[in-house]
Amino acid sequence: MTQPVAINLLSGGLDSVTVLHIARAQGFLPIALSFRYGQRHIFELTRAAELCRELEVEHLVLNLDPGLFAGATALVGESQAIPTDRPIDDSIPSTYVPARNILFLAHALALAETRGATDIFIGVNALDYSGYPDCRPEFIAAFESMANLGMKAGVEGRPLRIHAPLAEMNKAQIIQTGLKLGVDYARTSSCYQPDAAGRPCGRCDSCVLRARGFAGAGIADPLLGPADRA
């Protein structure tokens, strides 16, 4: 039997790396799709590329014009500071990137039809997240419905499925799932403003949520040395 192909959106962060391993465990042959869009945390793509080389996964990196997001998000450009040490709630933070997952999924749809794939995997999470509207299950379901109305494959009876296996997990559960699948979380990058060597700041929303997850899982984050954990 031919191994089914899946398009995996891969940032190099904790969630998307876990999802890549989930897709492989489910028997899919993944094609990893990453994006360069002027993100300040560009180091994440280094981790994504390393992982794909190690797993012998095809890896495509597409460029989006950073001008799409100029001035609208703290994650692109220098017009806004990355928020740190803030209470994390369901409000939409300044690190929200306009239509990011819509753009990512749209490109994944095109690649899926081109490669004959009917499955896309994305690492969105609706429990431990920073208030991003495009991480909610209802958004994923609506996007899948829209895609199947507007794509040749869907009209011809080969509906596309968008998998969001982490949607209802908290960060601790995600980490526990990944460890069972052999994920090396020391080879991921979650921080919104890592230094040149990829060391996390420990204070942005993403670092706070990651720390909360490892604490909940009862294990130390391998990215942090003893001094960082003190």
- For 81-108, the pLDDT digits (tens) are 999 999 888 889 999 999 999 999 999 9
Residue 166 C-alpha from the chain's centroid: 10
Q: What distance in Å separates the CA atoms of residue 227 and residue 194, rounded to the nearest whole number?
A: 17
Give the pLDDT confidence score for residue 19 in this predicted structure: 98
Q: Where are the alpha helices (DSSP H) in 13-69?
A: 14-25, 43-55
Q: What is the pTM of this model?
A: 0.95
DSSP state of 26: T
Q: What angle do CA 134, 135, 137 make, to 5 degrees?
A: 105
Q: For residue 230, what pLDDT band results from cuts at 50, 70 and 90?
A: very low
Q: Of 9-13, 126-130, 205-209, which gets the smallest average pLDDT?
A: 126-130
In the chain, DSSP assigns E strands to 5-9, 29-36, 58-63, 119-121, 161-163
Is the predicted pLDDT of residue 176 greater than 50, yes or no? yes
Question: If you average pLDDT over every residue of the chain, what do you get?
Answer: 94
Q: For residue 225, what pLDDT band results from cuts at 50, 70 and 90?
A: low
